[in-house]
Structure 1
């Protein structure tokens, strides 16, 4: 029913736009170009399995957790339900990033042939990365109240510990967003098959890591496997995509951002004493490391 509702809503939108925009005036079979059709087919075909594999990777963790068994860690259908609850906050991050990604795709295509293209990519990426990591740090800092707001503990008291598994998933969501940014380069330069190849690596590695980590670490193993898979995808795409658009970025800043984010995960996962103190300190470090690119972008927007 959920899938059918999405399909029907898309059909309704298409019909409405076709009528409202008067697109029937441009529907002329005599204008069909075989060469353009082949070019569009080569461009779009890799995007279909890529989207399917992204979706599969997102759901595969729950499948593994729900169907694997262990005498040492908590697994099964109840564990899969807790994992699903833990993904609520990271899913919000990914959803908001998708809105940016749709706008970014248009900008990337528009700027692809400009003389200042590489500099444009560098500035946008720098600000985007800063926003993602500061936002992710803030979410981990307030993970308990945010989880309590989004998850109904009264009706589902068993979900009270779901927040323990959310930090690593937030870190994974941050790299998912960066991967979407880099996918924009493949779209703009018409190398969509590269996005397909990189997601194949993610799926394979994610399955292997799930098989190895879930029996040892349970739900936390699935979260860590997801993070490592998306981090691998980021590394592959950052190396590959910059062959087509050689924009500059700070490797050191990205490494430091990743390390700080992982350090912020540890106090929550292991329930350290004085957890809030360490989280505040690390959030301040993250902000200090990333505020300048964000400030530059905000100043430009304010001037406009």
Structure 2
């Protein structure tokens, strides 16, 4: 039974990867070009715009995307029931967008913001797109979800070529490219899902709206608390160290950010698998097996990325961003603990205890800001990166303890300790900045990782063979 669940989880992850990894990989490929077409100050400004939008999105959507997915994925696939949920959730979101638009118009009269209309458009489109994606997931149309990601990637590549590289519009070009990519992908999903046939005013129910908002409301603060952990430090950097230094820190974050986005593909699949299997008798055994695999993969990949941090920056990006590599090893480790925390976070969704998710995220956010304020002046960007790592470790430990009341996870402690030792060795070697020692360590790490994860690697290889050759 567990093998069947594991295979289904791998299949779902593979489908999500097709749609999501393209855009993540594209962002990574475009990063070196950004370093040549944008100054450090310009990149810092662009990143702070994206950071601010990521804070505002949950206020625009009221996190109803999570309610939509939670209700649809457990529905009995009756069209009327699905239309009932979608009509109520989408009506609330559209009404809230109207309110946000009015607020933005008022702000425009008071404050002068560069590229105001583009920033507003990006906020609206980056709010709507993930909501419609969650509709596709909730309706089990995972291949449609994946294809929308591919379309987004192609649109982003084409618009970047036109507006940034050809027309050289700098930040304005990046904003136009992002808005158009979201718009094209959203329109594609709406047409394929035929959402215009789903919405019905007759289905509006204030009792259901109250129920949906009751589930999603704690997740608004939870997402914003998560933002405190992931992104709030950028405002500290901007205030204490300036735009140029923010550009360096933002760039340093992009490489670990790629790992975080790739991990999010698995987390999406894991949330679905956990919710479906949450009430099964063997859930603890299944969840523990997946968690131990995740720990092994996360720390193995993190150790490898730590070792190649300097080489990646040296050979891929402009010299003006070279110093960003120094902070990447710490940020990579933070991403690993972030992903493990997200694994625990899915348990709150399965148990419908979104308040538990909120409390733990808020706890991590407070630690991040507090430690960041203490360390930023004496240690600069190192202090910011360390505060980020400490907050994710604290969140991981707190959630691990807090979720025991729902699911008991059994961690293979010997493997965890050995992996943490490897991380410490990798950090030490990385900061020695000796390419020969780094390459030797990478070779040893590759052998160890292959042996340690041989069962998982065999499953993945067999899965790929089946997809490509139709053989087992």
Task: Give the TM-score taking structure 2 as reference length.
Answer: 0.56
C-alpha distance in 2, partners of 1:284/1:273?
16
C-alpha distance in 2, partners of 1:228/1:255?
18
Q: Could you tell me how far 1:4 is from its partner in structure 2?
A: 2.5
Please give the secondary structure, in 2, of the residue aligned with 1:87.
helix
* Match runs of 1:256-275 below 5 Å: 256-271=418-433, 275=437
- Equivalent residue number for residue 138 of structure 1: 304
Please give the secondary structure, in 2, of the residue aligned with 1:249.
coil
Whether 1:109 and 2:226 are equivalent positions in the alignment is no
Q: Could you tell me how far 1:202 is from its partner in structure 2?
A: 1.0
Whether 1:276 and 2:438 are equivalent positions in the alignment is yes
- Equivalent residue number for residue 216 of structure 2: 44
Q: Name the stretch that deviates more: 89-98 or 121-130.
A: 121-130
Does the 8 Å CA contact 1:168/1:224 hold for their aligned counterparts? yes
C-alpha distance in 2, partners of 1:47/1:286?
39
Unaligned runs of at least 5 residues, structure 2: 1-117, 130-182, 467-471
Q: Could you tell me how far 1:14 is from its partner in structure 2?
A: 6.1
Paired residues in the alignment total: 293
* Match runs of 1:100-179 below 5 Å: 100-148=266-314, 150=316, 152-153=317-318, 157-179=319-341
C-alpha distance in 2, partners of 1:286/1:221?
32
- Equivalent residue number for residue 398 of structure 2: 236
Does the 8 Å CA contact 1:189/1:244 hold for their aligned counterparts? yes
Q: Name the stretch that deviates more: 174-183 or 229-238.
A: 174-183
C-alpha distance in 2, partners of 1:217/1:272?
24
Q: Could you tell me how far 1:105 is from its partner in structure 2?
A: 1.2
Q: Could you tell me how far 1:22 is from its partner in structure 2?
A: 4.1
Aligned to 1:207, which of 344, 369, 385?
369
Q: Could you tell me how far 1:206 is from its partner in structure 2?
A: 1.0
Aligned to 1:61, which of 233, 248, 256?
233
Please give the secondary structure, in 1, of the residue aligned with 2:310.
helix
Q: Which has the higher helix share?
A: 2
C-alpha distance in 1, partners of 2:393/2:335?
10
- Equivalent residue number for residue 8 of structure 1: 125
Q: Could you tell me how far 1:31 is from its partner in structure 2?
A: 7.0
- Equivalent residue number for residue 88 of structure 1: 254
- Equivalent residue number for residue 72 of structure 1: none
Which one has more relative contact order, counting CA pairs under 8 Å at least 6 apart?
A: 1
C-alpha distance in 2, partners of 1:107/1:41?
23
Q: Name the stretch that deviates more: 200-209 or 58-67.
A: 58-67
Aligned-residue CA RMSD (Å)? 2.9
Unaligned runs of at least 5 residues, structure 1: 69-74
User: Residues 134, 273 of structure 1: CA spacing in aligned structure 2 closer, same or farther, 3 A cutoff?
Assistant: closer
Does the 8 Å CA contact 1:126/1:293 hold for their aligned counterparts? no
Please give the secondary structure, in 2, of the residue aligned with 1:46.
helix
